[in-house]
Chain A
């Protein structure tokens, strides 16, 4: 049974890139276009891994992390954001994120390897 990965990302092109890269690797992809939709999805069904963007409409990534922490979900969360400040990284880690990457500094082909570490 393939692992279910929830991707919270508001940029449609990047969603497409994620899908192209990860579907190839055999993962079940679910997309949430904002924080609230991500929470809804999680509430409906816990994913095996969450790839979380930070800057999203309505509820942002920090809100999602807060929710997850509050609800006590144990699935790993990897933050993939274009915010690069230490303060954001620390904040995310404090809210339970397992890892943090700046998207523009990351090569797409590294993504599968990264996910493998957690699922």
Chain B
């Protein structure tokens, strides 16, 4: 320490008159004895008291050693005590325990004349510790040795020192943590500092490198280069950056850049600070970058997408090969002369001006960073095309530009169009299907529906699609429908044949639905596809069928219980069903009858013609065939039956035959009895009638009668012949009814049969001045009973003449249609009133409009015609209008049908 001269030196100086020790707070030690220049006690006292340095005077020996004898203001302030307090204390009261221990030996050293100094810690009155530096030595006052101690608070020094240390450490840390090697060389090119990175770079410990030079580590020629560069920096004082290559201990070639600068240290020495950057990696990266740049350039040039750079407000500043090709420019130069507007048609598909819309697109890209949109472009040759455009904002050399990637999507559009068409086709197909088809998503919303479904719901497709089932149905029902959906979605398995009822605008509907998972292209289930078939009618049909089955059962029961013997047969093999009444009537059990031909019942006594007639009627299929037959029971007994047969038609053919038999044996017996009675009665009536007639005839011819008598006799003759006729008809009918009328068929020419009749009617017609026109087809030959046919026709012709006024025409025509003969008898007579036409063939019926005009009718003629026509297997019908006339049509088979 410069300020503190050695005690010997100071002692000598102090006693010198030219002493300047006052400036240095010279202590007032034995001034009177040793140094006359320091005699002035007050001056020393002031110095002592005003000194910024703490000064203690202590006892040096004996039990009081260390006791503070005197102390100055600075010392008191430093320790936080008052001077008076300190004067009652020992110096060790201010020490830390370790110093207390050292104190006795230090006191002895001082008593032995030694000055000692140290840095120790003192404790203030408040207990806090602070560092001090003291210097203590002996003070001889009047022969008594005291200890004089100068104490200096070094808190600030210590802090500064600590700070310095810390900052030095900090600097080293920074240097060490730097990836770049840093070194410091002195003028002699020796390393005097190096960081961890440099050590690593050199591959040596710090200790191995410090103090050494390049020559200790590098080959001479390389070291020479380093040395030269260092020297250059030292001499020029200028910074030097140099790229060098060297091979490290491991044989790896490094490229390094070394930046060397000159600094002057506090002592004025020049030092060289070098920072090395190993740019081997960077170089590699650069090389790589160059490669990737090439790659990028290649990509850029070869890219299928047109990539271009657009400077907003300016136009295109670059475009790759695809761009040039896309817009059909000659080259990039030409391309760069365009703005986006010029490469677009005037209007975009939405009708907006391209220029205006493009501004908006660019603005959006600038604001958001990117913008992707569809755009209609125009090539240089004027051709327009659809493209997608991706605008991406980027900075290029500090300026904002947009990179635009344009992709021609004409083909995509075409594909989209065909996809749309395909979807449309799909829709057409979906719509053509009568089943309801719907696609639903996971939220019970309809995605797609077909026409049948729309129709069923009475809603437009637009209304349905996107609509949730919950919007269409009460919650409960919607939940019910959805339950299946959820099941299908969860399981991924179809659910088939769900039958549900639902409300529709047309009422309750029954549907059968199949639901299958609806998967997207990736196979993920995104909903369900449903196919519903309206089975309402099926359902109703089923119910109807059940009802019908129920009815059929009832009918069956009724038929079973019926007293009418009923049998159902087919042509092959025969009986399918017979009821109990049939069993009773025939004596055959159902089991015996089953599959038998019903002919087993035939007795052989029923005329074959009758069966033939019935068959003809049955096979026409339009009416019951009814007749009376004689059948034979299983036991051989015979019975009369009224047989009704009707066919059950299927596809226009008689498939089943239902036969109903009523036992009419008793009735038949009665009929026969009646017929026999009629025969007898008529015989008994006829005999007197014959007498009357013959008598009248004799009277008329043999006696001379007056005119009046003659007229009366004529009248009587007419009455008796009418009576005879009535008897004939009634007898005839009773025979027909008793089944006693036999049909004798033989081939005959129709025209000759009719011509035989002609003569009979001619006189009558002539009498009424009527014209009889017979238009006959001479070629017609039929097999029938000519006598019965004559009787039928005679009745029809007689009626025609009788019920037609004078001077009218009667017409008879014949023709063949198919295998039938049609004979029409047309008159211009009174006709049959409409309301009575259905009774015309009834027994004893006479139309009201002729009863008075023609009184001599029996009401049996048309009944007889009807009965005889039936016997011949024919049909009789008529059309008539009152006062206009009637036409009766008789239809007979050309040949009587044979029993199949």
Chain A proximity mask over B355-388: 1 for CB below 8 Å, otherwise 0: 0000000000000000000000000000000000
**Docked-complex contact A83 and B691, CB < 8 angstroms:** no
Closest Cβ of chain B to A32, distance in Å, is 17
| Residues on B with beta carbons closer than 8 Å to the beta carbon of A43 | none
Please tell me which one of the listed residues B683, B686, B693 contacts residue A107 in the complex, with CB atoms under 8 A apart: B693
Closest Cβ of chain A to B35, distance in Å, is 207
Which A-chain residue is minimally distant from B683 (CB atoms)?
A82
| Residues on B with beta carbons closer than 8 Å to the beta carbon of A85 | 679, 735, 740
B410 within 8 A of A: no
Q: How many residues of B contact A (CB 8 A)?
A: 23
B102-110, B188-196, B695-703: which one contacts chain A? B695-703
**Docked-complex contact B683 and A55, CB < 8 angstroms:** yes
**Docked-complex contact A83 and B679, CB < 8 angstroms:** yes
**Docked-complex contact A108 and B682, CB < 8 angstroms:** no
| Residues on A with beta carbons closer than 8 Å to the beta carbon of B735 | 85
B690 within 8 A of A: yes
**Docked-complex contact A21 and B698, CB < 8 angstroms:** yes
Q: Is chain B's interface secondary structure helix, strand, loop, or mixed overall?
A: helix
B727 within 8 A of A: yes
B480 within 8 A of A: no
Within 8 A of A (CB), among B709-746: 724, 727-728, 731, 735, 740, 742
**Docked-complex contact A17 and B691, CB < 8 angstroms:** yes
Q: How many cross-chain pairs have Cβ atoms below 8 Å apart between A and B?
A: 57
Which B-chain residue is minimally distant from A83 (CB atoms)?
B683
B689 within 8 A of A: yes
| Residues on B with beta carbons closer than 8 Å to the beta carbon of A86 | 742
Which B-chain residue is minimally distant from A81 (CB atoms)?
B683
Closest Cβ of chain A to B697, distance in Å, is 4
Asked whether A84 and B698 contact (CB < 8 A) given A13-B691, A104-B689, the answer is no
In this complex, the interface size class of chain A, counting residues with CB under 8 Å from chain B, is 20 to 34
| Residues on A with beta carbons closer than 8 Å to the beta carbon of B688 | 13
**Docked-complex contact A17 and B694, CB < 8 angstroms:** yes
A109 within 8 A of B: yes
Which B-chain residue is minimally distant from A24 (CB atoms)?
B702
Within 8 A of B (CB), among A93-119: 102-109
| Residues on B with beta carbons closer than 8 Å to the beta carbon of A84 | 682, 728, 731
Which B-chain residue is minimally distant from A106 (CB atoms)?
B690
B687 within 8 A of A: yes
Report the Cα distance A13→B682, complex, angstroms: 18
Within 8 A of B (CB), among A1-60: 11, 13-14, 17, 20-21, 24, 55
Closest Cβ of chain A to B727, distance in Å, is 7
Please tell me which one of the listed residues B690, B695, B742 contacts residue A103 in the complex, with CB atoms under 8 A apart: B690
Please tell me which one of the listed residues B686, B695, B702 contacts residue A82 in the complex, with CB atoms under 8 A apart: B686
**Docked-complex contact A11 and B691, CB < 8 angstroms:** yes
**Docked-complex contact B724 and A108, CB < 8 angstroms:** no
Which B-chain residue is minimally distant from A86 (CB atoms)?
B742
Report the Cα distance A24→B702, complex, angstroms: 10
**Docked-complex contact B686 and A104, CB < 8 angstroms:** yes
Q: What are 7 A-B pairs at a CB distance below 8 A?
A: A17-B691, A17-B694, A83-B679, A84-B731, A86-B742, A108-B693, A108-B694
**A interface vs B, CB < 8 Å?**
11, 13-14, 17, 20-21, 24, 55, 82-87, 102-109
**B interface vs A, CB < 8 Å?**
679, 682-683, 686-691, 693-695, 697-698, 701-702, 724, 727-728, 731, 735, 740, 742
- Name the 6 nearest CB pairs between A and B, nearest first: A82-B686, A104-B686, A108-B694, A108-B697, A103-B690, A17-B694
